[in-house]
Amino acid sequence: MNERPKPIVRRRREPYNPRSSADKGKDRWVLSYADFITLLFAFFVALYSISLKQAGNEKQLTETLNGVFDAVQKSVKPINIGDPIIGEPDGEEILEVEPEEAEESVSKGEEGSPDNSTPSQIYDLLNEVISSQFSSLTQSGKVSISENESWISLELKSGLLFGEGEYELTNEAVALLIVISNILNSYPSPVLVEGNTDDQPVSGAAPFSSNWSLSSLRASAVVDELVFRGVNPKLIAPIGFSSEHPKVRNRNDDSRAQNRRVTLKISKLRTDNLYDYLFN
């Protein structure tokens, strides 16, 4: 009896792809690059900290390091290489705020009544800090401060705070807001944060629908950062004006740049709650 031949089982061959093994690890260089950038950043911070310590100013060293690392963790923007936008302090001295004196001065006034000591201290301190520590910003017009009978106005140009068409704070903006928050924490007052844009419509690729959204988001980003730094949330609120409150006429690129701004309006009247101060 003849046996039937066994069928030959042929395995299906996998198509050979010479790039498959290489593609698996093509992005591994990003990890090494990120580690290198982190170490390089730490190296320059260490050099800067050594120079401060040699000058005998340990308090400035601590505040600088804390501010730098907080700013890096808070922002998703890359660290700028080269001269920073906000400039460097002109001297080695840094202004110190005494909260104890602020509490004594605040207790002298009645709620809802003018308190001459606290507003003058806020204005003088902001003016001194900006003119001494951030002189390049005032000279370039990116930061300005003024006052009237009711408000102290600190105007920050959007080019300093945000990228074009964006509402995420830059590292330079976070560093500046850290200084501002220290003053507001020491001399608490009602603060309105006003966002303003130019008259150009937003692009179709933008994650917001109009300049109303953009101005509100930018004002909210500044409020979020200040509250994160300890400012009382009951004393601060954002408001967006879109392009309806221009500083100058929107004639050209320069005038539109002046209208793109965020203004911190600090009240000269005392209150424990901004809502009651505005609406009651």
Burial of 134 (0-12, 13-18, 19+ CB in 10 A): buried
pLDDT tens-digit map of 75-92: 444 445 444 444 444 444
Ramachandran assignment for 112, one of left (phi > 0), alpha (psi -120 to 50 degrees), beta (any other):
left
**Cα separation values, 107 from 115, 150, 266, Å:** 10, 19, 18
In this structure, are residues 212 and 175 in contact, taking their beta carbons and an 8 Å threshold?
Answer: no
Whether the model pTM is above 0.75: no
Place of tokens 């500083």: 247
- Rounded to 10 degrees, what is the CA torsion of 167, 188, 126, 275? 50
pLDDT tens-digit map of 228-255: 999 999 999 999 999 999 999 999 999 9
Phi, psi of 240 (to 5 degrees): -110, 130
User: Could you give the CA distance from residue 39 to residue 167 in angstroms, rounded to a whole number?
Assistant: 29
- Report the candidate in 143, 179, 168 with the shortest Cα–Cα distance to residue 67: 179
pLDDT tens-digit map of 127-180: 888 888 888 888 899 999 999 988 999 999 999 999 988 999 999 899 999 999
Look at 60-64, 188-192, 255-259 and tell me which has the smallest mean pLDDT.
Answer: 60-64
Domains in the chain (CATH in brackets) are 42-74 (no CATH), 113-279 (3.30.1330.60)
